[in-house]
Amino acid sequence: MTVDAGGFTEWIEQELARRGWKPSDLAREARLDQGTLSNVLSCARGPGVAFCSRVAEALQLPVETVLGRAGLIPLTDESTEAARELGYLFDRLSPEDQQRALVIARALLHAGSATQAAPAGDQEQEIAFADGRRSSPESSLGQTEKRTPGSSDVSREQLGLRSPLVRGLLIALVVIVVVVSIGVIGATFVRGSWWYAMSTDRALNEAERVRLVEVREAVAASGAARRAVAWLDMALDAEAHPSDVRLHLMAAADELEQMADPELTEELAELEALIGSMSRGRSEATMPSPFPPSTVAVSAD
């Protein structure tokens, strides 16, 4: 049988181009000596059965296909060769992948019309996947360079320099806002502070405290409102904040109102009057000053 060395060489070059390989890639994958491969590709010597077997293994093709291309066995038509290659690839799959391949084949069979209308680029990708095409590092690098224009590289570099600075400024701004907010809220609601006193009720004066003591004694004498007495004791605490005092008085008034004791009607009215008077205005004399007292003694001449 005549060996068509030139046709075999051309076919090998086409297969390498489809995979983006170089002859050195084929020699490495097929575990062939570079000199042996060069002699076959240059038609200095013909391919043997062992050579074709290693090339078939490297290209993931049936050995009959390579032997036919080398002229060592009769060459079959393209449909028979494709069916042989499909069977070869199917046998090399795992059982799970074989089931997936069957599902894909059935889907392609039922969608024949859609496959014919698919763009050429999609068909090329499907063929590449079916052939098990692999790309060498050099070809992959070349494709990446083609897809990446120079202008986009410059913009990405600029973004890489500016993005950390922008993110840092935004984070610093958020931290400053949070710290200032916490400080303002803390200064507003810390008990005993000037800000807290400005937004709450005034303290009871001496006359009102005397009236409150009388109410407390009357409620305690009745012996029926112990919880109200406890609230009144808390309101009479000298260290209690004015807003807390008013809350304690409101709690005591609620207790008396729920009891509905006719003997404590006057005491309930007195508590309501005290509560109302605390919220009507603020006495500057009882409000703590926002400034510390001066430590400089002023001497009179």
pLDDT digits (tens, 9 = 90+) for 61-90: 999 988 888 888 887 777 787 888 888 888
Specify the 3-state DSSP secondary structure of 170.
helix
What pLDDT does residue 123 have?
54
Q: Are 12 and 128 contained in the same domain?
A: yes
197: in domain: no
Q: Are 180 and 222 contained in the same domain?
A: no
Nearest one of 41, 34, 35, 47 to 16, comparing CA atoms: 41
198: in domain: no
Q: Are 113 and 162 contained in the same domain?
A: no
Confidence of residue 162 (pLDDT cuts 50, 70, 90): low
Q: Are 81 and 178 contained in the same domain?
A: no
Confidence of residue 27 (pLDDT cuts 50, 70, 90): very high
- pLDDT-wise least confident of 27-31, 92-96, 258-262, 296-300: 296-300
300: in domain: no
What CA–CA distance (Å, rounded) separates 271 from 149? Answer: 83
Q: Are 231 and 153 contained in the same domain?
A: no
17: in domain: yes
Average pLDDT (196-200) is 52
What pLDDT does residue 294 have?
40
Q: Are 25 and 100 contained in the same domain?
A: yes
| Domain limits for position 275 | 206-280
200: in domain: no
Q: Work out how many domains the chain is built from and give that number.
A: 3
Q: Are 61 and 123 contained in the same domain?
A: yes
CATH number of residue 110's parent domain: 1.10.260.40
Top pLDDT among 24 and 277 is at 24
Top pLDDT among 96 and 106 is at 96
pLDDT, tens digit, 9 for 90 and up, residues 262-290: 888 888 898 888 888 876 444 443 444 44
pLDDT, tens digit, 9 for 90 and up, residues 115-161: 555 555 555 555 455 444 444 444 444 444 444 444 444 454 444 54
93: in domain: yes
289: in domain: no
Confidence of residue 31 (pLDDT cuts 50, 70, 90): very high
Top pLDDT among 96 and 141 is at 96
Nearest one of 52, 129, 55 to 86, comparing CA atoms: 129
What pLDDT does residue 242 have?
83
Tell which of 139, 157, 178 closes a domain.
139
Q: Are 16 and 83 contained in the same domain?
A: yes
How remote is the C-alpha of 139 from its chain's centroid?
35
295: in domain: no
What pLDDT does residue 6 have?
64
What pLDDT does residue 19 have?
93
Residue 274 and residue 249 in contact, taking contact as beta carbons nearer than 8 Å: yes
Confidence of residue 190 (pLDDT cuts 50, 70, 90): low
Average pLDDT (223-243) is 86
What pLDDT does residue 125 have?
56
Residue 198 has pLDDT above 80, yes or no: no
Q: Are 241 and 168 contained in the same domain?
A: no
Q: Are 47 and 92 contained in the same domain?
A: yes
Mean pLDDT of the chain: 75
Residue 216 and residue 231 in contact, taking contact as beta carbons nearer than 8 Å: no
What pLDDT does residue 116 have?
56
User: Does pTM top 0.75 for this prediction?
Assistant: no
What pLDDT does residue 144 have?
42
What's the Cα-to-Cα distance from 189 to each of 182, 193, 197, 199, rounded to whole Å? 11, 8, 9, 9
Specify the 3-state DSSP secondary structure of 4.
coil
Q: Are 118 and 244 contained in the same domain?
A: no
Q: Are 155 and 251 contained in the same domain?
A: no
